[in-house]
Structure 1
Amino acid sequence: MSAITCIRTIRIDERPNLIWVEIDTDEGLTGLGEGFRGTQAIEAVIHEQLAPWLMGRDSRHIEAIARHMLTPTVGFNSSSAEVRGAAAIDMALWDLAGQRHGIPVHEALGGASRLEIPAYNTCAGYSYNSGGTRGGRVMGNRQIGAGDVSQGPYDDQLAFMRDAGALAESLVSEGYRAMKIWPFDIYAAATGGQMISLPDLKAGLAPFAKIRKAVGDDIEVMCELHSLWGSHAATRICRALEDYNVFWAEDPIGKMDDAAALADLRRATSTPICGSETLGGAVRFRDLLAAGALDVVMVDIDWCGGLTEARKIAALAEVYAKPLAPHDCTGPVALMAGLHLALHAPTAIYQEVVRATLSTWYRELVTELPVIENGMVKAPTAPGLGTALSPAVAQRPDAVVRAHG
């Protein structure tokens, strides 16, 4: 028996999109999980719906707990607050499992398929995606103007709009062999994403041309489309990207669970289609794969329902012979969880990272982060997820801490 004795949540005003959950057991262990976006709703789900049922239960029964938490009633067919709360709990249970047996989570999942995996750098800035609202959705919650100045050496979102070639050279010099940018986002608002003009298309392609001119084929380039586009505009963009041998176009249409629309797009272009961090539950991915709608499967541990569900999505990717690429533009704990999945899953090809956050505020929140050497992310060796919430986080004046038990 490894009974759950306390469930604790911590969030801070400075990073309102993040919430952490710590689960204590009668063994004296503490497991760590993380939720992202709508943290007050996640907090309510955890304390009002999940914690009362979980108290006293055996934390070893991860599959049974996951199935109960993801019971298909209202709110459980997407990346809802219910699913995100369940994901945070599930993540902590896997952390406990690894700690209990003295092994990393990738071993607890069934063993590693590899002990390192290539990283690609999402070219975001230092505060990317860390605000508490969806306002200013264009350019990843950051409106870049002519007067903006770089906030530091890794202000990569500004860099890819100003000089994508120099940015590519910087990444190659640090050992990265893949990068992701989203220069088309700023043109979506004019038509609600339903059309893109030829001048805007040409402007959006310019960073890709600069990257190829600067470093040639020394780096792979992914294009993020942030679910901003209708099918006609998305097709036009994806066809234009073919000239630059883009590795994938990610989340190209507004409804990434629309298997028919995605399959039509995939047939209309040779640019590979990647999706989707936004989806919850293995069934959504099954439907897309069965429809021939995806070339690359992207999964977010925070949003899909946790590691238990992500492992099933990875198995679907394997069955359909599709590569897997775990998402990270959320928080440091989900990054560690995604890394363990990427090390375990047979068809995983990349782990996403953001060097701007890895080098700054991620380090203020947790005790350990992934080690990247020459563009490769190394396997953690410590038991569990291999990281813990820094003790100072819960002591901050802007911290909101709630405990059940």
Structure 2
Amino acid sequence: SADGRSGWGEATLQGQAAAVHEHVRRLAPMLIGRAWAVPTDASGVAGTCGRDTAEAAAISALDQALWDLLAQEKGQSLTTALGSAKRPAIGLYANINRGTLDRSPAGFAARAREVAGRGFDAVKIAPFDEARPDAADAARLRPGLERIAAVRETIGPEVRLMVDCHWRLNETATADVLREVEPLKLYWLECPIAEDEAHFAALRRLRRRANDAGVRLAGCEMMIGRAGFQRFIEAGVYDVIMPDVKYAGGLRELLRIGEDAARHDVACSPHNPSGPIAHVHSLHLSAHLPTFPFLEFQYGESPLFFEFVSGVLPDPNRGRSELPRGVGLGVGLGGAALARQIVSVEGATPLREAAR
């Protein structure tokens, strides 16, 4: 800002860093020089929440940074700047997928035992490494089913267990999985098949099957904008939607998505296997969502998650997080660990300055 403040947003998209960077370069001049006396949306200035995921990531990150600055200008925490909070602390579930390097059933079980021992009462795994939509026969499903069973046996019946399929299944395979895991009492099954209007009927059928087995169907983690989510909410395909602060199109856009979900009795549990900046933005947002069960946290993937942070990051490692303190976002990036990781990219000057 003109008075020397910095606002932070996270623009990360696996394999598309260059595309995201180009969108930021194009969009940033539209925002520079404006007087942001009241909260507004970067998507409103850009005229879109994003025509593809890379553009959505850029718009969402710029919006995050603007909200951080606006809250700082008001001398408020971001939670307060967004309105009246519905909860003082945020429940977290542990996503242990990417940090589980030993992909055997025993490897998954060991990681699940670790997080349950830390106090998490909800765990998510992505066990179907071998499956693809066109290759999801019983032999390819079996290793994933064994991983699920091993985790459930380890954590016991009281810890909620979610399974992320990463769109690796088809309708028949998903029905088979639901039948096989019914005794294991999953909390939800996530992203089993492709997410588009051509699959709405199949998703509704799968939701009914899941609900009959006491399981919720969850998805929409990469969806862009309120309009994108509205199609899925109104089609009745999911019990839980999972907007991501990195792609939804802005903070207020994500809150509108949550309000739309609540009107249709759909839960809103933000997707958040992310870096610390997106994580903290997600904490602030989660304080306001009306039908909110808990927030995702990528458990134990890299120590850099903590080493990059300047300021006090509320401890996320026990299944619950306090809301960040201080004005604005409450944290930023900085330090020697960050300095060692910065790549030579045009526009990285703010990161270099923060790392000093």
Q: TM-score, normalised by structure 2?
A: 0.88
Is 2:17 the partner of 1:39? yes
Q: Secondary structure at the match of 1:226?
A: coil
User: Where does residue 154 of structure 2 map in the other structure?
Assistant: 214
For structure 1, which segment, 79-88 or 261-270, has the greater mean C-alpha deviation from structure 2 after superposition?
A: 261-270
Offset at residue 298 of structure 1 (A): 0.6
Indicate the percent of aligned positions where both proteins have the same amino acid: 30
Offset at residue 183 of structure 1 (A): 1.3
Q: Which amino acid is 1:28 matched to?
A: G
User: Where does residue 243 of structure 1 map in the other structure?
Assistant: 183
Is 2:72 the partner of 1:99? yes
Q: 2:307 aligns with which of 358, 364, 368?
A: 364
Q: Secondary structure at the match of 1:277?
A: coil
Unaligned runs of 5+ in 2: 351-356
User: Where does residue 128 of structure 1 map in the other structure?
Assistant: none
Q: Secondary structure at the match of 2:327?
A: coil
Write the distance in 2 (CA, Å) between the matches of 1:376 and 1:364.
20
User: Where does residue 343 of structure 2 map in the other structure?
Assistant: 398
Q: TM-score, normalised by structure 1?
A: 0.78
2:220 and 2:242 in contact (8 A); partners too: yes
Q: Spell out, residue by residue over 1:161-189, the C-alpha distance to the aligned partner (whole angstroms, 9 max, x if none).
A: 4343333322221101111111113222x
User: Where does residue 338 of structure 1 map in the other structure?
Assistant: 282
Is 2:232 the partner of 1:292? no
Write the distance in 2 (CA, Å) between the matches of 1:280 and 1:322.
17
Structure 1 residues 372 and 51, CA gap change in structure 2 (3 angstroms) = closer
For structure 1, which segment, 370-379 or 114-123, has the greater mean C-alpha deviation from structure 2 after superposition?
A: 370-379
Write the distance in 2 (CA, Å) between the matches of 1:223 and 1:157.
17
RMSD (Å) for aligned C-alpha atoms: 2.4
Offset at residue 275 of structure 1 (A): 1.1
For structure 1, which segment, 99-108 or 88-97, has the greater mean C-alpha deviation from structure 2 after superposition?
A: 99-108
Q: Spell out, residue by residue over 1:87-127, the C-alpha distance to the aligned partner (whole angstroms, 9 max, x if none).
A: 010000111122112222122111221111221111134xx
Q: How many residues align?
A: 342
Correspondence list, 1:350-389, <5 A: 350-357=294-301, 360-367=303-310, 368-372=312-316, 374-389=318-333
Q: Secondary structure at the match of 1:344?
A: coil
1:272 and 1:295 in contact (8 A); partners too: yes
Q: Which amino acid is 2:5 matched to?
A: L
User: Where does residue 119 of structure 1 map in the other structure?
Assistant: 92
Q: 1:63 aligns with which of 40, 43, 60?
A: 40
Q: Which amino acid is 1:101 matched to?
A: K
Offset at residue 57 of structure 1 (A): 0.7
User: Where does residue 29 of structure 2 map in the other structure?
Assistant: 52
Write the distance in 1 (CA, Å) between the matches of 2:206 and 2:90.
29
Unaligned runs of 5+ in 1: 1-24, 126-154
Structure 1 residues 60 and 108, CA gap change in structure 2 (3 angstroms) = same
Q: Spell out, residue by residue over 1:216-235, the C-alpha distance to the aligned partner (whole angstroms, 9 max, x if none).
A: 21311100111122222223
Q: Secondary structure at the match of 1:400?
A: coil
Correspondence list, 1:1-400, <5 A: 25-37=1-13, 38-48=16-26, 50-71=27-48, 76-77=50-51, 79-125=52-98, 155-158=99-102, 161-188=105-132, 193-256=133-196, 258-270=199-211, 271-357=215-301, 360-367=303-310, 368-372=312-316, 374-390=318-334, 392=336, 393=338, 398-400=343-345
1:124 and 1:356 in contact (8 A); partners too: no
